[in-house]
Structure 1
Amino acid sequence: MSATTHALTAMIASRICHDLISPLGAISNGVELLQLTMAPPVPPELQLIADSIRSANARVLFLRLAFGVAGEGQSMGQGELAALVRGWTEGGRLQIDWQPGPPCSRLRARRACLALLCLEAALPQGGEIRVRDDGGLWHLRARGRRVALPPALWEMLTEPQCSVELSPGRIQFALLRGDLLEGDGLATGKISEDEIVLNLP
């Protein structure tokens, strides 16, 4: 993926997420108004809609960071980043142990989110991912009952030369590879039947 294509992909993702957030917010406000006009308890159907909207909004915010534009000079605190990640995984089969660290650039935050999406794809039965940032290097350790990651996808993150045809559900591997090649180099780590260790700048 060329640098131009990479940048266009990020701009398209940012635009789509931006256009989705506004109607989701409007629907959420409408549901809240309905809840205020009803005597308690809130009907389970309405609560289900409210929970689904909250989950969708959290996922869009996370995906905007992972796939969207990361402007130069922009930074974010680890608390804000951890909250986005928790919203993305809420109610799912993936548990995230996000260990506190220093503020980081938005570009490094995007790399961490893309790495989480890659590890999620490798854990079809769910699992736990521990994330630590030492201020210059992300350390991610994923564990699950089963790790299913084709060698070609692993090589996209760790090897200078690789060739693989990607499905839309695996585009995060190409985007993370592009970010790493434009930065300080590819990832390092190891993979086994029940664990993946991934280190990236």
Structure 2
Amino acid sequence: MKELADDTLDPVALACSRICHDLVNPLSAIAGGAELLGLQAGSSPELALVSESVAAAMARIRFFRIAFGAPGEGQSIASREIRTLLEELQRGSRIQYDWRSEAAHHRADLRAVFLLMQCCETAMTAGGTIKVENGDTWTIEVTAKRLNRDPALWDRLTAPPRPADGLPPSHVHFLLLPQVLSQLGRRLRIEANETALTARF
């Protein structure tokens, strides 16, 4: 994976938006089909599992679209929509979300927040809570029984953007976040110990 310069990030983000958009349509069809089967044949554990799995997949795709997709100039997302998305994501998950902001926010800011949340999730192998607040700055607070932070990954977040250097695709958010923050003109500050983390930008 090569370093994504500012002039190549937007085409990649557009591609991510397109992929997420195209995946939602067949998933919606599956959800609709499962609902019809439930009406005709009655509910069953199998249909419930299909419906829950589709709902979880659609929530994750919407999350990815905000984190990796093109933000769109001037586009905002309401707080209620963000809360609904996070509530769907945390069903059956060991990670819980506490969204404290009441305002609508620009997609460009939310892209940075969601990428940072993914970085936090990577360290939360035993689960925990991610709390997000917004005032003069964005503040993300993580509490967990244990945080497994890889210094090689987390050191990237407070340094200038740099090449992937063998970074696996599963950790691409650690590559993208410094570039997104640089585009926003923001600097990330992190304080952490074995069970808690606070990040601000």
Give the 3 Å change call, closer, same or farther, for CA 18–161 of structure 1 in structure 2.
Answer: closer
Secondary structure of the structure 2 residue equivalent to 1:71: coil
- In structure 2, the partner of 1:145 is 145
Which structure 1 segments of 5+ residues have no match? none
2:30 is the alignment partner of 1:9? no
Distance 1:83 1:175 in 2: 25
Distance 1:101 1:174 in 2: 29
Letter in 2 for 1:88: L
- Contact 1:159–1:186, Cα closer than 8 Å, also in 2: no
- In structure 1, the partner of 2:34 is 31
- In structure 1, the partner of 2:106 is 105
Structure 1 length normalisation: TM-score? 0.92
Give the superposition deviation at 1:72: 1.2
Give % identity: 35
- In structure 2, the partner of 1:45 is 46
- Contact 1:12–1:68, Cα closer than 8 Å, also in 2: yes
Distance 2:10 2:45 in 1: 43
Which structure 2 segments of 5+ residues have no match? none
- Contact 1:118–1:173, Cα closer than 8 Å, also in 2: yes
Letter in 1 for 2:173: Q
Secondary structure of the structure 1 residue equivalent to 2:139: strand
Distance 1:9 1:85 in 2: 24
Letter in 2 for 1:24: L
Distance 2:162 2:26 in 1: 40
Give the superposition deviation at 1:165: 3.4
- Contact 1:157–1:186, Cα closer than 8 Å, also in 2: no
Give the superposition deviation at 1:5: 2.5
Distance 1:116 1:59 in 2: 13
Distance 2:72 2:197 in 1: 30
Secondary structure of the structure 2 residue equivalent to 1:196: strand
Distance 1:25 1:162 in 2: 38
Give the 3 Å change call, closer, same or farther, for CA 68–162 of structure 1 in structure 2.
Answer: closer
Secondary structure of the structure 2 residue equivalent to 1:139: strand
Give the 3 Å change call, closer, same or farther, for CA 144–133 of structure 1 in structure 2.
Answer: same
- Contact 1:79–1:100, Cα closer than 8 Å, also in 2: no
* Cα RMSD after superposing both structures: 1.5
Secondary structure of the structure 1 residue equivalent to 2:187: coil
Instruction: Tell me the alpha carbon deviations over residues 17-45 of structure 1, each in whole angstroms, 9 at most, x when there is no partner.
Output: 11100000011111111111124xx1111
Counting only pairs closer than 5 Å after superposition, residues 106-185 of structure 1 correspond to structure 2 as 106-134=107-135, 136-160=136-160, 164-185=165-186
- Contact 1:101–1:132, Cα closer than 8 Å, also in 2: no
2:115 is the alignment partner of 1:94? no
Give the superposition deviation at 1:162: 5.9
Give the superposition deviation at 1:47: 1.1
Instruction: Tell me the alpha carbon deviations over residues 99-144 of structure 1, each in whole angstroms, 9 at most, x when there is no partner.
Output: 133221111111111111110001111111111011x421001111
Distance 1:66 1:162 in 2: 19
Letter in 2 for 1:95: Q
